[in-house]
Amino acid sequence: MKEDSFSIQIKKSDGTLTMDFKGQLTINYIQKIKEVVNEKVDFSQDISVNVDNPDNLDITFLQLLQSMKTTAELNKKQLSVSSTLPSELDSLVSNAGFSDLLNSNPVNN
């Protein structure tokens, strides 16, 4: 799904759902992002999430990822998250206490 400010690409293969998030992952768009997740994500399979150098992200997006992880665990499935973040967003994630959720590879700008 492509919105003007964010994109979510979803691929299914070998029993794993792969999701790529880009763009503005913030409170302004979280309702639309959540709608896509609710429509497209099947929690009966393992999920791999990639957050690739987003323009911005905030705590609402991190909370959505945490909720997805909890739902996956309740369904006895794995949800893994990897990310490539600009250093200021990597600091935000760390300061918000979500470093364990996002296995981040910071990018120096």
CA-based Rg of the chain, rounded to a whole angstrom?
A: 13
Q: Would you say residue 15 has pLDDT above 90?
A: no
> For residue 18, what are the CA distances in angstroms to 6, 30, 48, 59, 80?
17, 19, 5, 22, 10
* pLDDT at 102 (0 to 100): 80
Q: Taking the domains of the chain in order of start, what are their residue ranges?
A: 6-107
Q: Would you say residue 3 has pLDDT above 70?
A: no
* pLDDT at 1 (0 to 100): 55
Q: Would you say residue 108 has pLDDT above 90?
A: no
Whole-angstrom distance, CA of residue 48 vs CA of residue 11? 10
Q: Per residue, what are the HEC states of 31-57?
A: HHHHHHHHHHCCCCCEEEEEEECCCEE
- Domain 6-107 of CATH type 3.30.750.24: yes
**What is the average pLDDT value for the chain, to the nearest integer?**
90
